[in-house]
Amino acid sequence: MKYMLYLFPVLLFVCAGCSPEVPPPPVERNDLIVRFFRSLRSSNSDAAGLQGEKIYTMDKRNYFVQNLVAVQQANSYVRRAQNFLNAGDLERAIKELESGLRRFPRNTQLHTQLDKLRKLRYAERHFIAMRSAPNPVAMNSALAAAQAGLDGLESPKLNAFFANYKQSIERWNKHNAPSSTGSAKVPIRSFDDK
């Protein structure tokens, strides 16, 4: 009975330490953080993503860690997708990001990049419509559709292209404006013309 009195506090101490609510010891957390930043430094996105997830489960209120984890989860998939895109294979780039989303379905970085690539898929159609627009009304419509369809993909080249296209619409309007001495000549198109 005397031994039971000594064993009872030890058993109580051991059982209390097994609770899932008890955070891991600071040494383990610090070691994990050091490994996480080493993985970042060595550009090992996969390892950094997994280590970051573990850090996040230890401290779910830390928004900074949550953001870092999302970026690290996305980095390797975005890097591979960029390689496919640089090689001119848009479809494989899209599939790479889709596989990343199957693994990390709530990753906002991957969703954002996938949306941009899906918009790129239809960019050629917009440019063809702009080139084949027969008059200023159709040109303005094609330009508006292209700007809406490619929203979020702004780049200096694309912005310059849109600006040049607007100038060509203005030149067309100025060149074909009705003169004060006569009426404007409007080409007659048959239904067979396309």
Q: Which residues of 112-142 are buried (b: 16+ CB within 10 A; e: fewer)?
A: ebbeebeeeeeeeebeebbeebeeeeebeeb
Domain boundaries, the chain: 24-121, 123-175
Q: Quick: pLDDT tens for 35-52.
A: 888 887 887 777 877 787
CB within 8 A of 78, min separation 6: which ones? 97, 100, 109, 110, 113
Q: Quick: pLDDT tens for 135-192.
A: 889 999 999 999 998 888 888 888 899 999 999 999 888 887 765 555 555 554 444 4
Residue 170 · residue 139 · CB < 8 Å: no
Q: Which fold has domain 24-121?
A: 1.25.40
Q: Quick: pLDDT tens for 52-103.
A: 778 778 777 777 777 777 777 788 889 899 999 899 899 999 999 999 999 8
Looking from the CA of 187 toward its CB, the CA atoms found within 13 Å total 7
Q: pTM score, two decimals?
A: 0.58
